[in-house]
Amino acid sequence: MTTILRIGTRGSPLALAQARETARRLGAAFPELAAEGAVEIVVIKTTGDRVQDRALAEIGGKGLFTKEIEEALIDRSIDLAVHSMKDVATWLPPGLEIACLLPREDPRDAFFARDSMAGLDDLPPGAIVGTASLRRQAQVLARRPDVSVVTFRGNVESRLRKLAEGQVDATLLAVAGLRRLDKADRITAILPEDQMLPAVAQGAIGIECRSDDDRVLECLAPLHCARTAERVAAERALLKVLDGSCRTPIAALATLGEGGRISLDGLVAKPDGSEIHRLRREGAAADAAALGAEAGAELKARIGPDFLIA
């Protein structure tokens, strides 16, 4: 059968699982897309995937997980791109847009440790925690300044293998990814938001396409989750105002309440955990982006011009 849609994605197990989920949802919405070969998954290796021996902050930030995929969209070698929204920059290339957000998974972080340790408070003094995320590093060190944090990259299996080999005493991974890979049963503990506020848009899958591609936009419309979009809009608006990068520990989580209300928790920290600024704001879900921008502006005013790392 002739291919109708080409989905661009990274080649990691999680990225492929997300692309396959997108393809399944497209097939459920449009029977012609459920036929074998109608939707092709195109694996694109990104700079972020190729360079595994350094922290993202050292090689240019999270945009390195999307740059080559967006280039493929622009040159029309793919029709849509599936991203983990936490990896998507707040500024998109001209002519591209996030047209669809799938229903969000659990946004929290999972804790893994050797020797049956049940959480951050169970780590012994001097324990080594592995993570490539400055957001996680800052919050770990703020709570446990007596432990060490080392750079720890790789996919889920490689990180868990390194943990089992004793390279570190503990590590953290997103609950959403573990659930999408059917590995949630391996989680030691799920950290509450007051201990580990998630990354902006963690657990959300975004689908990017060309703004002028009416055919793809029509296909994506039935897949879009408006509730997820409201939450992500608030979190990304906060991030955009702070102009954060991978060198800046920033976290945010929006939750929807009764009566069309939304609550937003935001955090900015020093990488060493020595200083953390956190706030909570509530408002109408219809004004999610404005609420996020206001929260970001307040955090920016609190920390001053010299706090954020360039």
Listed range (26-35, 38-47, 300-309) with the worst mean pLDDT: 300-309
* Contact call for residues 73 and 257 (beta carbons, < 8 A): no
Residue 310 covered by a domain: no
Residue 167 covered by a domain: yes
Does residue 83 sit in helix, strand or coil?
strand
Q: pLDDT at position 65, please? A: 75
Q: Which of 86-90, 104-108, 300-304 has the highest mean pLDDT?
A: 104-108
Mean pLDDT of the chain: 91
Which of 4, 10, 70 minimizes the C-alpha distance to 38? 4
- Residue type at position 299: L
Which of 286, 105, 72 minimizes the C-alpha distance to 178? 105
Structure tokens at 95: 């002519």
Structure tokens at 292: 């996020």
Listed range (17-26, 53-62, 267-276) with the worst mean pLDDT: 53-62
Distance, in Å, from the CA atom of 164 to the CA atom of 228, rounded to the nearest integer, reads 35
Does residue 168 sit in helix, strand or coil?
coil
3-state DSSP helix/strand/coil % of the chain, to nearest 5: 40, 25, 40
Q: What is the total count of domains within the chain?
A: 3
- Residue type at position 237: A
Q: pLDDT at position 80, please? A: 97
Residues contacting residue 182 through CB under 8 Å, at least 6 positions apart: none
| Between 116 and 224, the higher pLDDT residue | 224
Residues 56 and 20 in one domain: yes
Q: pLDDT at position 308, please? A: 62
Does residue 205 sit in helix, strand or coil?
strand
Q: Count other Cβ atoms within 10 Å, centred on residue 109.
A: 28
- Maximum Cα interatomic distance, the chain, rounded to a whole number of Å: 60
Which residue has tokens 């109608």?
Answer: 38
Residues 157 and 247 in one domain: no
Q: pLDDT at position 150, please? A: 94
Residue 83 covered by a domain: yes
Distance, in Å, from the CA atom of 46 to the CA atom of 249, rounded to the nearest integer, reads 23
Residue 152 has pLDDT above 90, yes or no: no
DSSP state string for 221-262 = GGG--HHHHHHHHHHHHHHHHHT--TTS-EEEEEEE-GGGEE
pTM for the whole thing?
A: 0.91
Residue 52 has pLDDT above 60, yes or no: no
Q: pLDDT at position 245, please? A: 52
Residue 195 covered by a domain: no
What is the average per-residue pLDDT within 65-85? Answer: 94
Residues 150 and 238 in one domain: no
Residues 156 and 288 in one domain: no
Active site residues: 87
What is the average per-residue pLDDT within 53-70? Answer: 66
Residues 74 and 49 in one domain: yes
Residue 198 covered by a domain: no
Q: pLDDT at position 30, please? A: 97
Residues 79 and 100 in one domain: yes
Residue 138 has pLDDT above 90, yes or no: yes
Distance, in Å, from the CA atom of 219 to the CA atom of 216, rounded to the nearest integer, reads 5
Residues 144 and 274 in one domain: no
- Residue type at position 203: G
Q: pLDDT at position 292, please? A: 98
Distance, in Å, from the CA atom of 133 to the CA atom of 110, rounded to the nearest integer, reads 13
Residue 72 sits in which domain range?
5-104+204-224
Residues 173 and 51 in one domain: no
For residue 218, the domain's CATH number is: 3.40.190.10
Residues 94 and 242 in one domain: no
Listed range (42-46, 100-104, 152-156, 171-175) with the worst mean pLDDT: 152-156
| Portion of the chain with pLDDT greater than 70, in percent | 92
DSSP 52: -
What is the average per-residue pLDDT within 17-24? Answer: 97
| Alpha carbon distances (Å) from 239 to 85, 252, 268, 308 | 12, 8, 10, 12
Residues 167 and 219 in one domain: no
Q: Count other Cβ atoms within 10 Å, centred on residue 58.
A: 12
Residues 73 and 147 in one domain: no
Residue 308 covered by a domain: no
**Banded model confidence at residue 59, pLDDT cuts 50, 70, 90:** very low
**Banded model confidence at residue 1, pLDDT cuts 50, 70, 90:** low
Residues 161 and 283 in one domain: no
Residue 196 covered by a domain: no
* Contact call for residues 227 and 256 (beta carbons, < 8 A): yes
Residue 199 covered by a domain: no
